[in-house]
Homo-oligomer: A and B are copies of this chain.
Amino acid sequence: MTSKISPPYYAVIFTSVRTDNDQGYDRAAEHMMTLARDQSGYIGFESVSDEGIGISVSYWKDLASIRAWKQAADHITAQKTGQDKWYKSYTTRIAKVEREYSFEK
């Protein structure tokens, strides 16, 4: 994804190790994405996973947008559900993107 806006903006870096249990996961993940897209301040989303290891990065205009997304998301995918069922471990990082440079063929 190439951003449409210039730094500074924010990134939520979510790295995770999944369990074998994916019951309800796809639906919840899709819902999280929809909630993100509906949020003002949402810029974009990138996600890759392979063999249970995942890195997802969502991009946001400011911290207020991230907070609003988190609040909306907490109501649906209760954080606890994910912890118990889907993840062995995860880390969420909130980071301010200060610079970016892109290459495209």
Contact = CB atoms under 8 A, between A and B. Distances in A.
Contact of A100 (B89, B93, B98, B99): B93
B57 A53 contact: no
B94 A97 contact: yes
B96 A98 contact: yes
B87 A92 contact: no
Interface in A54-105: 54-55, 57, 83, 87-105
A39 interface: no
Given A11-B93, A94-B100, A48 B53 contact: yes
A46 interface: yes
A46 B15 contact: yes
A65 to B, nearest CB: 15
A48 B98 CA distance: 23
Contact of A55 (B55, B89, B101, B102): B55
A37 to B, nearest CB: 19
Interface of A: 1-3, 7, 11, 13, 15, 46-50, 53-55, 57, 83, 87-105
